[in-house]
């Protein structure tokens, strides 16, 4: 078994055309070469800006190349509950922003000819308990009559046509959701930005930022550069002078395993409609087929950080969970296991904007493949003065009480969610 991201292992590497900082001042310096940073770099370069992307590791090496490759429209949380909390008008506006995220991925894949198997497979939100089905039914009634007629409620019997297991109690089908090979996507996005003139410097963390005469002096490990504007597309960044952000984002581990390729007949039995699947638990499980017919099975497994030991332990838990859903896979080897850190906010909604002259976009809370694409693209306009476009502009972002950068409280949050999963 390989302890690395299947997506990064099965996509052509990104090849940077530069190994030194460019001469003179750049228009925009982007911190981070994930989906947010590369979507922004592409949009900015298309506008003719001189863009430099500084990436601490490799392009797509963090969450962007380590996720489930699902572009699921809708929210991480229950639509009915969120629209009650935010008001229907606001919830629908945000819902449309997630739809626009999937549309933006689809458009960029087409325009930049990114070969990443993007397709609108649809998503099944699977009821893990009978009561969860009732909750899905309430959300469906509101969605179907309003913001998303492309949704269907499937009873347990109807679900049989979509899934080769009796593990779940029905589902909400969201037809606009998509899936892709996210390694090929994030690297393709960066390659497209580079083709259009963006300069990428990998293994080059931003270590310091200073404002000077209307510009930023940016200290990186390769030297110092002047930039007119700076965009933080740095996810859960643990490097650099970003304490303000670290007090607002909670890095939460998430883990994945990928099986050996399945015989076509067995795959057709398990996932005949090839949907993206996720369940309703807080300790969520999600699964899908990869483009080369393996089963990817992921989840929170435990509230823990991702590191090689933790990934291996979580992989064992996920394997047991996978077999409880699909016992017929008992003899199928697991070929990949890895983990990553999800950039969670307290309310599981993203944040983007400007603070003290610095622009930022992050906190996608597990719904980032498409929202990072939308926000990266949109930041190019927001940085030109179009703050009105920003769907998250009215959302305050207070620091999380007691959070100083290391999430010491995660085991307690984990225990609370485990209890909730048991009781609800
Ligand atoms: C295991 C897992 C599964 C997930 N599954 C899904 C899914 O199926 N669907 C979905 O929509 N979302 C999913 N997500 C969330 C999604 O992957 C993220 O929201 C999205 O990739 C965030 O992109 P980003 O570019 O903002 O951040 P990242 O991909 O984290 O990129 C930030 C980059 O900034 C760099 N950086 C940080 N600090 C510095 C610095 N000081 N200097 C230079 N560079 C720096 C980092 O090295 C990193 O490469 C998942 C996430 C994880 C971890």
Mutation to probe ligand 1, out of 21, 34, 251 (largest number of atoms < 8 A from CB): 34
Alpha helices per DSSP H over 174-330? 182-195, 243-246, 264-270, 308-325
- pLDDT (tens digit per residue) in 144-176: 999 999 999 999 999 999 999 999 999 999 999
- In short, whether 362's Cβ falls inside 6 Å of ligand 1 is yes
Of 62, 105, 307, best ligand 1 pocket probe by most atoms within 8 Å of the beta carbon: 62
Residue with tokens 């893990």: 128
186 lines ligand 1 (CB under 6 A): no
Kind plus residue range of the DSSP H or E element containing 45: helix 35-46
Q: Is the CB of 220 under 6 A from ligand 1?
A: no
Q: Supply the pLDDT for residue 213.
A: 86
The answer to whether residue 408 scores a pLDDT higher than 80 is no
Consecutive H or E run containing 179: strand 178-179
DSSP 94-128: HHHHHHHHHHHHHHHHHHTT--S--B---EEEE-S
Q: 235 C-alpha vs ligand 1 centroid, how far in Å? A: 5
Q: What is the distance in A from the centroid of ligand 1 to the CA of 193?
A: 18
In the chain the domains, ranked by start, together with CATH numbers, are 6-413 (3.50.50.60)
Nearest ligand 1 atom, CA 242: 41
Distance of CA 102 to the CA centre of its chain: 12
Scanning 112-196, the segments in alpha helix (DSSP H) are: 130-145, 156-159, 182-195
Asked whether 38 lines ligand 1 (CB < 6 A), one says no
Which residue out of 3, 16, 32 has the highest number of ligand 1 atoms within 8 Å of its CB and is therefore the one to mutate?
32
Indicate if ligand 1 lies below 6 Å from the C-beta of 68: yes
Ligand 1 centre and the CA of 64: distance in Å? 4
DSSP state of 314: H
- Dump pLDDT digits (tens) for 327-381: 999 999 999 999 999 999 999 999 999 998 999 999 999 999 999 999 999 999 9
Residue 333 DSSP one-character state: P
- Show the beta-strand stretches assigned E in 281-346: 285-289, 295-299, 334-344
CA–CA gap between residue 30 and residue 53 (Å, rounded): 5
With CA atoms as reference, report the closest residue to 367 among 105, 8, 139: 105
Band (301; pLDDT cuts 50, 70, 90): low
pLDDT tens for 94-131 read 999 999 999 999 999 999 999 999 999 999 999 999 99
Q: What percentage of residues in the chain have a pLDDT greater than 90?
A: 83
CB 24 within 8 A of CB 360: no
């Amino acid at each position: 078994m390989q302890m690395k991201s299947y997506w990064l292992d099965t996509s052509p590497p990104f090849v940077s055309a530069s190994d030194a900082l460019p001469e003179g001042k750049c228009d925009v310096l982007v911190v981070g070469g994930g989906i947010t940073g590369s979507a922004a770099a592409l949009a900015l370069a298309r506008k003719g800006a001189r863009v430099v992307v500084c990436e601490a590791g490799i392009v797509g090496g963090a969450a962007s190349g380590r996720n489930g490759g699902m572009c699921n429209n809708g929210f991480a949380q229950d639509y009915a509950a969120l629209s009650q909390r935010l008001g229907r008008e606001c919830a629908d506006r945000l819902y449309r922003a997630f739809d626009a995220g999937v549309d933006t991925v689809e458009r960029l894949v087409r325009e930049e000819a990114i070969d990443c198997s993007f397709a609108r497979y649809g998503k099944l939100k699977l009821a893990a308990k009978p009561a969860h089905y009732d909750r899905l039914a309430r959300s469906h009634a509101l969605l179907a009559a309003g913001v998303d007629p492309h949704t269907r409620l499937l009873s347990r019997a109807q679900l049989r046509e979509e899934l080769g297991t009796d593990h779940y109690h029905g589902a909400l089908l969201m037809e606009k959701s998509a899936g892709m090979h996210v390694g090929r996507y994030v690297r393709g996005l960066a390659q497209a930005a580079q083709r259009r003139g963006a300069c990428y410097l990998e293994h080059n963390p931003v270590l310091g930022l200073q404002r000077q005469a209307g510009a930023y002096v940016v200290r990186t490990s390769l030297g110092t550069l002047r930039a007119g504007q700076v965009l933080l597309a740095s996810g859960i960044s643990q490097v650099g002078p970003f304490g303000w952000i670290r007090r607002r984002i909670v890095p939460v581990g998430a883990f994945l395993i990928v099986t050996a390729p399945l015989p076509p007949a067995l795959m057709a039995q398990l996932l005949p409609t090839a949907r993206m699947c996720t369940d309703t638990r807080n300790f969520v499980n999600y699964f899908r087929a990869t483009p080369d017919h393996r089963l990817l099975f992921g989840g929170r497994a435990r509230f823990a950080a991702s590191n090689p030991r933790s990934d291996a332990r979580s992989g064992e838990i996920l394997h047991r969970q996978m077999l409880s859903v699909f016992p017929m896979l008992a003899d199928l080897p697991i070929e990949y296991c890895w983990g990553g850190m999800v950039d969670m906010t307290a309310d599981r909604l993203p944040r983007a904007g400007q603070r003290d002259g610095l622009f930022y976009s992050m906190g996608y809370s597990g719904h980032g493949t498409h929202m990072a694409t939308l926000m990266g693209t949109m930041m190019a306009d927001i940085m030109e003065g179009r703050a009105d476009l920003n769907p998250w502009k009215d959302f305050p972002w207070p620091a999380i009480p007691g959070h100083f950068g290391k999430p010491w409280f995660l085991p307690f949050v984990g225990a609370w969610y485990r209890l909730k999963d048991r009781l609800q």
